[in-house]
Each structure stands twice: as C-alpha cells, then as structure tokens.
A and B are shown apart, each in its own frame.
Chain A
C-alpha cells in the first residue's frame, strides 16, 4: 500500500518536473515581466508531493512495513522510535530521497524569494534545477527505489547497523544534506547567470542567502559527524581524514571560498567569473563526494551503503555536469578589466580563496590519489592523517596570520597597518604560548607555531570586536565566526599535542599506574537491554595530582538484529578535559584490552565549531532584518 503511494508520488514528481521545464520554456517566449502563476503552483505541488512521499517512507519505517525492501533491510520492530525514524535516511535509498526533497524545496524557495530579480534569470535557474531534480528522480525510481517491495513479506526486519543508532547520527544526514544539496541551487543559478548574462552585484545578492545557508548547515553537519565518530567509533579521535569525511570537507572549502569572494562581487562588482567557478565547483564536489562514498570505490570506516551500479549512474551524471559547466563557462568567459589594489580587503579575500583552494586541492588529491595509483600502476597506497598533517598544518600557520590581519583592512585601498599593535599582539601570543607549553610540559616546534598563530587570530578578533563596539559599526557575524575559528585551531592544537593515551591489558581487580593516574578495573557485569546485551565494566580513574576519582563504564554490546558486536566508549566530559575509556575482550584469556585517553579541551572544539556556524546564522538574521 505505502509502496504504491510512494511510487505514484515519485512518478507524479517526474511528470511535474517535466511540465515545469516545458512551461518555463514557453514562459521565456512571452514578453510578460512576471513568471506565470501556473509555474508557481506546479512548483508548490512538486514540493508538497515530495514531502508527502518522504513522510510515506517515514510512516513505513514507523509502522515497520516490511513489505518494503528498504524498511526490511534497515529496520526492526523492536528498535526505539527515534531510530526507526532516522533509519529512513540511514540508508542509500532513503537518503537519496532526502537529497531530492532538498533539491525540490530549494528550487521552490529560490523561485519564491527572488521576485525582484530578472525573469529570465529566475526561469533558467528553475529549468537547470529541475533538470537536476529529474536526474536524481530517475536514479531514485529506476536504480535505488526506496519503495521496492519484497515478496513474500518478511515477518521481521534485519535491523539498522547498531553504530548508526545514535542521536548525533540521526540528525547528521539532514544537516549535511542541506549543505551538500543546498549548493545545487547556486550551481543552477550560476548556469542561469552565464546563459542570461545576469552578472555582477545582482547575481551576488540573489545567491548570497543560499550560500550562507548551505555553508552554515554544512558546518553543523560536519560537526555532528565528528561528534559521532568521537564517541561511537571508539578510537578517541574526531577526524581521521577518511575519504568519507574528506567528501564532506571538500565542498565546505569551496563554500567558504565562495562565501568570501561573494562579498567582493557584491561590494565591488569584481571576480564575477571566479565566483561562477566556485558556484559550479561546490555542487560538483558535492556530487563527487556522493559518488566516492556511494560507489564503494574507496575503503572507508564509514562505508555502510555502496553498490557499483549506483557508481556508474552517478559518474555519468557527474561527467555530464562537469562537461556542460566547463563548456558553458569557456563559451561565456571574457577577460574583464578590473581595479584591484594589492593592499586592500579585496586582496585579502583573494588570499583567503588562495588558501582554501590549497586545502581543497590537497584533500582532493589525497582522497583520489589511491584510486589513480591502483588503476594506473597497480600499486595500492594509503593516504591518511600523517600525510594531511604534514602538508596542511604548516600552511595553516600562515593562513591564520593573514586571517588576523585581513578583516581589519579597508576596501579599495587600505590606509595603513597598525604595526605597533600587531607587534604587541604577537608578543602577547608568544607569551600565552609559553604559558600553555609550560603548563602541559610538552613540546614540539610546529605546535608552538600553531598555538601562537591561533592565539594571534583570537586576540586580533577580540580587539576587532572591541573596536567595532566603540565605533558602533558592529559586524558581529564575521567576528564571531573568525574568533571561533581561531579558538577551534587553538583547541585542536592543544588537544592534538597534549593528549595522553595508554593502551594496556587488565584483569578484573587489577590496577595500572602511569604518570599522575591510576586505572582500576573494579567490576564487570552482564546486562540485558531492549535490543542488545551488554558486558559493562567499571573502571575507577584516580588523578593523583588533582586528587579526584571518577568511574567510567565502557561496554561491549552484543546486538542480535543484525548480530554485531560493538565496543562502546565511556566518556567523562569535563570543562578542561575528557576521560575516554574503551575495553575489548582478548580471546582465550581473562584479560581485557583497555585504552585510556585524556583529551584536553575536547568540549571546546565542539563549542568552537558551533560558534562558527552561529556566525552564519547571525549573518542570515541580520540580512533578513535589513531586507524587511
């Protein structure tokens, strides 16, 4: 039943998509200034249908309708309600439906909220966006149909992968998709802009909000992903430079570059073609990421859903997109004259873009290089954290310094630098670094530079904040994001360099001493839960220096549907540091392998990222207030 409703709605949406394209083409021919009402109506229907379609699938998951393959494969009647719902997008088919929803809703909203822009430009955006929608709808209906049925109807589902049963991961895909897929709308707008020569400030104004929305949500999406990795994957890190993580980071770099250069386009009507490249690039990278993840071409810790036949379709779609964009771009590209001073805000924004492109290229290179070596030379290589850390970290130091100076410069031509002040900030940063290194009693040359430059950015942003309050010219959103970014790098630097990590084997009742700590294995018990059994250990951590005691309870969980064993870390988060313990059994032995970690300022890494996106929300709020 539900399957029929879903299929019908998907099919209707294909028809609606085609009719929107047809009507839009008709509409281009007439001379009216306004877009015909019928297009609005069809777009509204399109959005409504796809949302109903989505809720049909959600319902199927909630009532555990196992006649639908997707539900059968990814759900179980005993699963908690939240994970039944989040199971909807915790698989390939469902998440692709989510993808189409965002494409469709953004298409409608873009049409709705850009009434004061040129008609042709809006109509072309709508057409391109609907071509994308159709492309994905066909893929959904004929390759990855979430409503396919299975006969005979199974009595029970196979269950959702236990490590996906997690609140952070329940909201991770929707957040990330608003970012990922949201970038489609400025891809379409960029194509439309090239086709209709609708360039410059007006173009910048029309896509500004959308870039901001996608950037902000992408940031939050990446955050929830790392939080999940931190406490679910049980290795105590939050970023492994894994291909799937990189796939979410690549569009983020492109968006961040776009976010900045768009300001130049809006204010000074410069860099139009560069902005277009970034618009096209962002969505192309999003689709590339999806291709890499869904095709299973890469070996990743997050590979839960892949199938080569999907890869081929996405690859063809991707190649077409790239081909058309490149063709169109070079057709329309013309060298324009410009007026840019080397000492101005514009130049600093270019420098931001320069670094963003460097990060992007490095990460892209690292992600796809193994594929090339394997195909071309039959040589399997791994590119992991040590590569990225070696290449990227030293450059971040330089980047942070530019980032500290840049925002204070003026447009067109900067008057002068307050060298005196910069020097004072530098001395301050070095002093603070000295204290940090002294406090943690560890040392490495590079970490010094990272901490100094991060503190440099933090102090500069704080001074910026103070000054702007005095002049009543407050640009809070930017300062909040930049300040938070400074803190983020600072905390990551401290966390990376000053974590304590111990790996040892213990038997029940034993105690291990090291540095200022002791870890005691107090208790072990077996417990039954609704959908799993758990072996729970109790560990007492004694910190001699602070004279404090804490108990942690790591678990080994045995799930039955599907039957899997997972190792649950026990984490005690504190303001200054997190304690992190995982345990795992050792075959044919009473001993358990224990990993103990002390991670300083973990919580502040999350908070910093939240504030980076708070900056985005503040900007959206400010823009909205200005316009109404």
Chain B
C-alpha cells in the first residue's frame, strides 16, 4: 500500500505540469558561451560588441531552425573550444569529465573495503 502511495505521488510529480517546451532556449545558449574579449563573463551577461554580435548570430541560427548542438559546433569551429563553458567530450577533455566520477567510485570502494576489512577481524 505504502509503496503504491509513493509511486502515485512520484507519477503525479512528473506528469502534472506539462510545461515542457522543446524549442531552443537562446538565453541558455548565450549563458554557456564565453565572451572572448571580456574577463570571465558569459555572452549573456556582457554588453561588449563581441557579445552583441554573438547574440545576433545565435538568434539567427535559432531562427534558421538549428539545434542547440549545431549552434555550439558552429561556434566551436569558428572560435575554438574556448568559447563554450561546457567543454565537449572528446579525446582532450575526457579526463575532465571522467575523473570526478572515477574519484567518486574509488572513494566509495575505499570506504567499503575499509569497513569490510574490519568485519573480517
């Protein structure tokens, strides 16, 4: 009974609001882009000429029906990976993406072994 109640609530939770939109969110993209001429600011937060240009480029691309990924790829090709705040997963960046999880798993294993060793005492 209790599990049913929980499942019921979880289902409600994930279904009740149908505000999911599949359109491309320009603000989200602009936040993920570095303003190349600023000191550590995103394009969305900057007022520089460069940022204004990129904003127009991104909006045009969205209007052309490009997907989020296509826009990033386009900009990376033009300006290099330096422009995106989320480094793409590739042969240079895989260490960055995988290492935290490796650390997490090995930490868990260490604690597990630590506790298990004691149980064998």
Chain A positions within 8 Å of B, measured between CB atoms, are 233-237, 240, 242-243, 299-303, 337-342, 347, 350-351, 354, 357-358, 361-362, 365-366, 369, 373, 377, 379-387, 390-391, 395, 423, 426-427, 430-431, 433-434, 437-438, 441-443, 445, 448, 501, 503, 567, 584, 587, 593
Contact = CB atoms under 8 A, between A and B. Distances in A.
A354 B111 contact: yes
Contacts of B99: 361, 365
Nearest to B91: A377
B69 interface: no
A339 B83 CA distance: 52
B20 A427 contact: no
Interface in B74-105: 80-87, 92-93, 95-97, 99-101, 103-104
A434 B10 CA distance: 9
A357 to B, nearest CB: 6
B103 A361 contact: yes
Given A379-B92, A384-B34, A235 B14 contact: no
A331 to B, nearest CB: 22
Contacts of A234: 45
Nearest to A565: B47
B39 A395 contact: no
Which 9 A-B pairs have CB atoms at the shortest separation, nearest pair first?
A: A384-B85, A235-B45, A386-B86, A301-B40, A362-B100, A380-B82, A584-B47, A342-B115, A443-B17
Given A386-B32, A427-B9, A503-B44, A366 B2 contact: no
Contacts of A433: 13
A301 B41 contact: yes
Interface of B: 2, 5-6, 9-10, 12-14, 16-17, 19-20, 27, 31-32, 34, 38-42, 44-45, 47, 49, 80-87, 92-93, 95-97, 99-101, 103-104, 107-108, 111, 114-116, 118-119, 121
A567 B111 contact: no
Given A381-B96, A423-B2, A437-B13, 14 more contacts: A301-B38, A342-B115, A350-B111, A358-B103, A361-B103, A362-B100, A373-B93, A377-B92, A381-B81, A384-B86, A431-B9, A434-B9, A438-B16, A448-B14
Max count, chain A CB within 10 A of own CB: residue among B2, B12, B44, B104: B104
Contacts of B80: 380
Contacts of B27: 501, 503
A437 B17 contact: yes
Contacts of A357: 103, 107
A234 B44 CA distance: 11
16 contacts: A234-B45, A240-B40, A339-B118, A354-B111, A361-B99, A369-B95, A373-B92, A380-B80, A381-B82, A381-B92, A381-B93, A383-B96, A430-B6, A430-B13, A438-B17, A443-B17
A288 B91 CA distance: 27
A358 B107 contact: yes
Nearest to A440: B17
B115 A340 contact: yes
Given A381-B92, A387-B86, A430 B115 contact: no
A361 B100 contact: yes
A354 B108 contact: yes
A357 B31 CA distance: 28
Contacts of A384: 32, 34, 42, 85-86
Nearest to B6: A427
Nearest to B100: A362
Contacts of B92: 373, 377, 379, 381
A379 B86 contact: no
Given A366-B96, A434-B13, A382 B87 contact: yes
A362 to B, nearest CB: 4
Contacts of B93: 369, 373, 381
Contacts of A358: 100, 103-104, 107
B19 to A, nearest CB: 5
Contacts of B5: 427
Nearest to A585: B47
Contact of A383 (B13, B16, B85): B85
B40 A441 contact: no
A228 B45 CA distance: 16
A299 B47 CA distance: 18
Given A299-B40, A303-B39, A445 B107 contact: no
A385 B85 contact: yes
A567 B47 contact: yes
Contacts of B16: 434, 437-438
Nearest to B88: A381
A503 to B, nearest CB: 7
Contacts of B103: 357-358, 361-362
A369 B16 CA distance: 41
B110 to A, nearest CB: 8
Contact of B82 (A361, A382, A434, A567): A382
Contacts of B10: 430
Contact of B39 (A299, A337, A445, A448): A299
A369 B96 contact: yes
A390 B32 CA distance: 12
A382 B85 contact: yes
Contact of A382 (B83, B101, B111, B118): B83
Contact of A442 (B17, B32, B97, B107): B17
A482 B108 CA distance: 23
A380 B81 contact: yes
A445 B14 contact: yes
Contacts of A337: 121
Contacts of B2: 423
A387 B17 CA distance: 27
A628 to B, nearest CB: 38
Contacts of A361: 99-100, 103
B83 A430 contact: no
Given A235-B45, A350-B111, A501-B27, A382 B9 contact: no
